Amino acid sequence: MDEVLTGSSIENSTGNVSRPRYDLNPEELKELEAELVGSIEEQGVHDGVVAVWIAPFHRFADIPRVYESQYFPEVEELSDQETENSLYLLMVDMRDGVKRPVHSTIISRQNVSREGLAIDQDEVGGDTTGFYVIDDLIRTGNFTADEFRDYYESRGFDLSKCISVETNFRIGDKTQKYQGARIAELSYMAVMKMFFDTQPEIGHAAVFASVNRLSALSFRMVGLKSEPLMGRDDFVTSEAERGLVYHPVCIPYDGSNHPVFEKMSVPLPEIVYQD
């Protein structure tokens, strides 16, 4: 089911379910993107930038999947469980002369939700955490899943309330700022707003992410506090294999970050495509 959220209004239509594909050819991808833009217009959004949330088995999720695999080829090896645990965000620029997806952010969580879009998963345990960015660090020998859980649970975090930002990337040529912000910043704001909206109390949740220098600078500019994952700065990420410098961080939803999350409310329309 698809939902448009603009203030208090919600419009519904029927969604489509498919098996994940990373191998769409350019023509298939272009057709799917055109269908997405048409669907957005049918639901009353004809200009500006819209945040589109997509469940993992909706066929529109193949759009960010194809682009993600170009940046991160290893995502094609995700298990069905890891795919099911994901939620896809597309920033679609509906301004004249653009009319296409321009940015994507993919998150995971043990129970992902966005305004009625729920992706449930059995309790995570053993050698995995349910967060791909964390499990990738585990696979490369940085620490164990038990060490990760023990570290954060001993500090009062409920990992079922946490999310991780798995990938965050531009699609196509860079577009102009919107409402004074870069599209990448708007994407992060949409994620943080979703996270803030689902948190019942302060002090028990966090956002995990692997960030580059530009993202870290953006966090500081808006006053968002992040800290090295598990209090360490020596972890080796998979991005290092491609010569990229990324640092795993934890962004706690605590007293100092709460006001920042609260003000990250960008007046963008949101559309939810459910399985």
Q: Report which of 88, 157, 132, 151 is spatially closest to residue 237, judged by C-alpha positions.
A: 132
CA–CA separation, 251 and 228 (whole Å): 9
pTM, entire model: 0.82
Q: Tell me what the mean pLDDT of segment 6-10 comes to.
A: 30
Higher pLDDT, 156 or 18: 156
Between 68 and 215, the more confident residue is 68
What mean pLDDT, rounded, does the chain reach?
Answer: 82
Task: Please tell me which residue, 232 or 13, carries the higher pLDDT value.
Answer: 232
What is the mean pLDDT of the segment spanning 69-83? 70
Cα 167 to chain centroid distance, Å, stands at 7
Among 15, 250, 36, 50, smallest CA distance to 156 is for 250
Asked if 275 and 15 count as a contact pair (C-beta separation under 8 A), the reply is: yes
Q: Following DSSP, what letter does each residue of 83-137 receive, concatenated?
A: HHTEEEEEEEE-STTT-EEEEEEEEE-TTEEETTEEE--PPP-TT--S-HHHHHH
CA 274, CA 1: separation in Å to the nearest integer?
A: 5
CA distances from 203 to 117, 186, 224 (A): 25, 25, 15
Q: Which DSSP symbol is given to 239?
A: G
CA-closest candidate to residue 241, choices 106, 107, 73 = 73
Q: What is the pLDDT of residues 214-237, one digit of tens each?
A: 788 878 887 889 999 999 988 877
Q: Mean of the pLDDT values across residues 61-65?
A: 94
> What percentage of the chain reaches a pLDDT higher than 70?
81
Does 251 have pLDDT greater than 70? yes
How far apart CA 88 and CA 271 sit, in angstroms, is 12
Q: Determine how many CB atoms are found less than 10 A away from the CB of residue 22.
A: 15
pLDDT at 273 over 70: yes
Q: Which amino acid is at 115?
A: E
Cβ contacts of residue 87 below 8 Å, gap of 6+? Answer: 53, 54, 55, 56, 106, 107, 108, 109, 112, 114, 117, 119
Residue 216: count of CB within 10 angstroms of its CB = 16
Q: How many CA atoms lie within 13 A of 57 on its CB side?
A: 12
Judged against a pLDDT cut of 90, whether residue 166 lies above it is answered with: no
What confidence tens digit (pLDDT) does each residue in 172-218 have? 999 999 988 889 889 988 988 888 887 768 889 999 998 888 788 87
Contact status, residue 253 vs residue 206, Cβ threshold 8 Å: yes
pLDDT for res 77: 64
Q: How large is the average pLDDT for residues 74-102?
A: 83
